[in-house]
Chain A
Amino acid sequence: KAGVTQTPRYLIKTRGQQVTLSCSPISGHRSVSWYQQTPGQGLQFLFEYFSETQRNKGNFPGRFSGRQFSNSRSEMNVSTLELGDSALYLCASSLAPGGANTGELFFGEGSRLTVL
């Protein structure tokens, strides 16, 4: 079956702009989590959605937001981009919230954002 699909794979923005990233989970998965990966900070949890509701949120400013649609697809948005937002943004899906039951997250290949 198809894996987790993230679009776009690469994008370049300038400071002050906003960006929207998309994630299509594995069919049947209702939980979608987002992570920011940087060389200095590793993987940091942004938020998780389950059945269109935000279940948990990490320690990021309000410029980072997300949503989930009825078909479980998710988007995350970053407004007023800063240089420090340059990172690989990873989406992961699972059957249940937090990867419960199977304990496994299925990751996409990520969207690499560069802010100039």
Chain B
Amino acid sequence: GDSVTQMEGPVTLSEEAFLTINCTYTATGYPSLFWYVQYPGEGLQLLLKATKADDKGSNKGFEATYRKETTSFHLEKGSVQVSDSAVYFCALIGYGQNFVFGPGTRLSVLP
């Protein structure tokens, strides 16, 4: 079945550092890809998405590009802030299927 693999962390960075969280997937067909974020004590919320190959999703300074050839959707941000501390989930959904989430990556940003 479909699956998502991502670095589990925790990842600890200093404020203004560059962030990369790797995500790779296995799926039949051409799934849509997502990054969701979970702040402490909250549910998940959509951060960004890409629905076809070479699409770039972006939001709040975060970016991820749908790479079909490497089956990847790595999350990047040029300069992280303390407020970015959260758990980040890579996810996919195939046609007619349900969301499949990766294990989550906990990010801690230190001032």
Binding site for B on A (CB under 8 A): 4, 33, 35, 42-43, 45, 48, 56, 58, 90, 92, 98-100, 103-110
Contact = CB atoms under 8 A, between A and B. Distances in A.
Interface residues of B, number: 22
Interface in B30-80: 32, 34, 36, 41-46, 49, 51
Given A109-B42, A110-B43, A103 B98 contact: no
Nearest to B97: A98
Interface of B: 32, 34, 36, 41-46, 49, 51, 89, 93, 96-104
Contacts, number: 53
A45 B34 contact: no
Contacts of A99: 93, 99
